[in-house]
Amino acid sequence: MSSPAPAYDYSPRSAFTEDWDRSLAIEILQTKKEKTDVSQHPDILSPGLEVCETQGMEVASEGSHHAKEKPFPEEDEKYPVHPEGQPVEKKRRRVCGTDIPLWLGLTAFLVAIAVGLGVGLGVGLTRTKTSHPSMSINSHSNPAHLSRTGAFNGSGLALASYSFGSGGYGVINVFFQHWTGQLRKMQLLENGDWSGGDSTNIVATDAKNGTPISAVAYAMDRKSTVHIFYIDTKNMIREKIYDNSTNNWRDGPIGAMGLVAMNDTNVGLQACWYGSFYGNADYIHAPIPGTGANTTSQDQLIGMHLWYGASPTQLNEVTWTYNTSQWYKQDFITANGHAGIGCYSWGPGSVSYVMWVNLDNAVQMAWKDLNSTVEEGAAHPVNTWVNTTFTIPNVNPKTSLGYTNYFYAQKVDGRLSGWNVSWDAENTTLSGDSFTIPKPALDGSHFSVTALPNNSGGDSLVVLDQQNGTDITQNFRDFTHGQWSYSDLPVPQT
């Protein structure tokens, strides 16, 4: 997931009442805005889009194994046959008055019955055992599918970007798991080339195999900062922070909370910038959905919220407010904890949106309005999550979720699809504008999405996923129409 936010003019409003930091004050610094031409190239539209959901090595689906029932032996096979006229030199021993061959035959018959009953009961019990569709992901990592080159097979993928300024390519960072298990960073440079990703670009060395990765980037108080979230080898939620004042990665405060994700190869994890994503009007970006212009929203609280899969049926939420050093526990959602989470909370106004996969393997969206001055009613409550009136059915139960100008999810056939969402609280709807990327990703592949300017002077939709297990594949298309093209990022072999 990627979540770059630019420099921000802090302008609190008392209308917002949710108290995330509870006691820690927020230092306010203001800078003068400079006017710019808003027709310049856009930047990534959405902070934190990687969401969620195949963890670890390529996973072999759980299958039931049925024992083949053997037929009972025929009676004439139980006894030895003697040639005619050949005398029997010794009298047969008898057990409980029965000849030994007959005794052995009866014993074999009883054993066969016992085995048949055992297998029959076992298979019968297995077949009658029920589980929810979204909870059938009891996957097991297969060492045969471990990568030995390139990216880790099942690598998390996250994007973090910066403003493109006067046009052309700017810098975006791609965070991934190398086949060695290390979390690393690659960069798209202004000339369109990729660099980094080698052993000099290591972010973390304690990541769980196949961990989801979520990134949030922002520019505040004349300092650019990136937060990386992942799951470590002990299933703890970890945070690494980098800023341009130190140029070093350091541990973030979320580790002190002791948050434990469920022990599974498929776990949802998503961080999302909260508040005005495009703080200053001089930040060049694509239009925010519903605005069509370079508008700036002013929120009382800015920071992040993070969701993670605590169990197969629950996502937990924690939040952090800018300029503080502590995270706080918030709501939990009943959802498929194996799948990813999506969010949109950086546009104008006071409404945030979150997307998850419900227990029927359908995408559910919800909204929350934090503006206490809004007239509250049954259709528009305040400070509580409210489900939209629609779902997107039949998604992969291990899908990641992502949002920039389109909402993305993986369907059951492995292909990624995008939907156009009209965000309007209780009136949120899906439009008819949707698409499907023809080339399928790996089952449950992590993916990350963004929008970038292209060399022809227009803009492109960009989706990063995995299609063979050692790759990071870039799927790209014109922003409004056209065919999808593909290229591989140059992931270092060592």
CA distances to 31, 351, 394, 423 from 431, in Å: 39, 20, 18, 10
**Residue 17: its pLDDT value, please?**
30
Q: The pTM is what?
A: 0.71
**Residue 172: its pLDDT value, please?**
87
Per-residue pLDDT of the chain (494 residues; tens, 9 = 90+): 444 333 332 222 222 233 333 333 323 233 333 433 333 333 333 343 333 333 333 323 333 333 333 333 333 333 333 333 343 344 444 444 445 454 445 455 444 444 443 434 343 333 333 344 444 454 434 555 788 899 999 999 999 976 554 444 557 899 999 999 999 999 998 788 999 999 999 999 999 999 999 999 888 888 889 999 999 999 999 999 999 888 899 999 999 999 999 999 999 999 998 765 433 333 344 444 544 443 444 445 688 999 999 999 999 999 999 889 999 999 899 999 999 999 998 777 788 899 999 999 999 999 998 787 888 888 899 988 999 999 999 999 999 999 988 999 999 999 999 999 999 999 999 988 899 999 999 999 999 999 887 777 788 999 999 999 999 999 999 998 889 999 999 999 99
Q: Could you please report the per-residue DSSP string of 178-207?
A: BTTS-EEEEEE-TTS-EEE-STTSEEES-B
Please check whether residue 256 is in contact with residue 236, taking contact to mean a CB–CB distance below 8 angstroms. no
| CA angle in degrees (0–180, nearest 5) for 388-390-392 | 120
Helix (H, G, I), strand (E, B) or coil at 436: strand
Would you report the helix, strand and coil content of the chain in percent, each value rounded to 5? 10, 35, 55
**Residue 170: its pLDDT value, please?**
57
Six token digits for residue 51: 């969401």
**Residue 137: its pLDDT value, please?**
54
**Residue 411: its pLDDT value, please?**
98
CATH 3.40.640.10 fits 4-61+143-488, yes or no: no
The whole-angstrom separation of Cα 145 and Cα 247 is: 36
**Residue 40: its pLDDT value, please?**
39
**Please, which contacts does 68-71 make with residues 24 or more away whose CB atoms are closer than 8 Å?**
69/116, 69/119, 69/120, 70/112, 70/115
Domain extents in the chain: 4-61+143-488
Strands 214-220 and 4-5: parallel
Q: Could you please report the per-residue DSSP string of 465-485?
A: E-SSSS--EEEEEESSS---E
